Structure 1
Amino acid sequence: MSHLLQDLKTWCNSLFARIFGLLSGASPGTLQLTGVLGLAALLYGLYALRGPPKPDRDEQRAEQIPRAPGSSAAAAPSSDKAHRSDARTSATASSTQVRGEEKSLAWAVRSQLSGIRNVTVSAPGVLLEEWTPTDLQESAVLRTDAAAVMREVLKTANVYVLAHVIDDIGEATVRGALEAGALVGPSAGQIPPHRVLFCSTLEGKTSIVRQLEPELHIDGHPQTIEALKRFMPQLLHVRHPKAQAAGVGSPNVGSAGSLIEVFMTS
């Protein structure tokens, strides 16, 4: 900076010398004009050397302050963020509700099956939409709510499925429905295929249950419930909509309109 000031001083002296040399014989009015020009030249040189004035620090700080969230430039992004936030909140709430329902079913099954290690289930009317061996000759449809309950039961107990059928056609129909619904299979969390048992009479089904000696048997046929109530620790009758409850008055017999009703309304 000192070198620049020295150069400016030298330049100004040279300029004044030339001006006074050229105008030494000029009139007083001319000399006054020349002095003004020389002063202007000096100020211009200083301005060129120092450069334009820097903005005030307060102005710099003012420029660095971000716009308020309510300004027009920030309104659109803020609105987009609000929509995305609402969408995430809605999705989270929906996911939480689903997980809550699954958790409540799991808890209900575990609490009500505490101490039970073996469960036998008669498929018609309980796991399947069809109730009679004749119906099973035509089709078999797995109840999705009953399948969800059984998957939870499988986490705490061994499950055996029984079905009263007329012949091999009924057996194939029942097994196909259970396997198609992924309730029966070789993987963990499924009922092993060898634990799906078939019989051609109600008496045969009663005999199988007594041989397996489960802590709980679930059935949709009232005659089977009546035949087993003297021998089983616990029985559950899943009633047909047009049938009466079986085992009324027996402390070891329960009754419900569906399998999931047993756990979710208790």
Structure 2
Amino acid sequence: MRSPAAPPRRQPKRQAPTTSGSSISAQSNATLMPSGACSPSEDLRAQNVVDEFFQPVKPTLGQIVRQKLSEGRKVTCRLLGVILEESSPEELQKQATVKSSVLDVLLEITKYCDLYLMERVIDDESEKIVLLALENAGIFTSGGLVKDKVLFCSTENGRTSFVRQLEPDWHIDTNPEIVSQLARFIKYQLHVSPTRPERTAPNVFSCPSLEHFFGCV
């Protein structure tokens, strides 16, 4: 008698590959954009923050005044054509108008310097008109200027004498003759002139206005 035949062996089933097209695509994206990397928009935002942080700080008017005056501690300045709108002593017999554009600069100068204002006038009434205009502009209250430091004379030579007696670090004037005469005696001068004159000395600077010299226009 024959023994019964052994049952046939089953072939193991093949497992279908599990990697689909979507998983390959995701893997590719992961390779292109590693974990922890920033997107271009995030990089741009970060750069903007850095740029804003390291922007140069704009100097204050006070810092500009001190720098321009080379830390000078005493300043003399004529009134006509520099502080006042008027340009002649005859005009001062009727009125005196303080330039609004020069006020901020003038007040900063009084904070750091011993400032003296001076002018040639024709009569006592003109002195009163000038002092009242300066007072109404707030120069005696907001700044460090007192009325005793506003000097008046009857001639241009009188102003020259004032400056030489006071021996300032800076003198500011509109008269080229006075500027020329004082060049040997005063450390620095600013010649205020609507036209740029020829430079007469290395210690004499020129500008259309006082506020222009300090970059306020």
Structures share fold, TM-score greater than 0.5? yes
The aligned counterpart of 1:165 is 121
The aligned counterpart of 1:216 is 170
C-alpha contact (below 8 Å) 1:182/1:190 kept by paired residues: no
What's the CA shift for 1:244?
A: 5.8
Give the unaligned 5+ runs of structure 2.
Answer: 1-56
Choose which of 194, 198, 206 in structure 1 pairs with 2:152.
Answer: 198
Q: Distance in 2 between matches of 1:251 and 1:177?
A: 35
Q: Which amino acid aligns with 1:251?
A: P
Structure number with the higher helix fraction is 1
Q: Distance in 2 between matches of 1:221 and 1:131?
A: 11
What's the CA shift for 1:245?
A: 2.5
Higher relative contact order (CA 8 A, sep 6+): 2
Q: Which amino acid aligns with 2:212?
A: E
Q: Aligned Cα RMSD in Å?
A: 2.1
C-alpha contact (below 8 Å) 1:133/1:165 kept by paired residues: yes
TM-score (norm 1): 0.57
1:146-181 deviations in Å (ceiling 9; x for gaps): 121011111111100001111112111111111110
What's the CA shift for 1:107?
A: 2.1
Which has the greater radius of gyration? 1
CA gap 1:252/1:114 in 2 versus in 1, 3 angstroms:
closer
1:232-257 deviations in Å (ceiling 9; x for gaps): 10010111x3x6636x2310101000
CA gap 1:151/1:172 in 2 versus in 1, 3 angstroms:
same
CA gap 1:115/1:195 in 2 versus in 1, 3 angstroms:
same
Choose which of 200, 203, 208 in structure 2 pairs with 1:249.
Answer: 200
Matched, 1:120 2:72: no
Identity of aligned residues (%): 40
C-alpha contact (below 8 Å) 2:190/2:205 kept by paired residues: yes
TM-score (norm 2): 0.69
Matched, 1:189 2:108: no
Matched, 1:106 2:58: no
Q: How many residues align?
A: 161
What's the CA shift for 1:230?
A: 1.4
Counterpart secondary structure, 2:101: helix
Q: Distance in 1 between matches of 2:86 and 2:150?
A: 17
Q: Distance in 1 between matches of 2:173 and 2:138?
A: 21
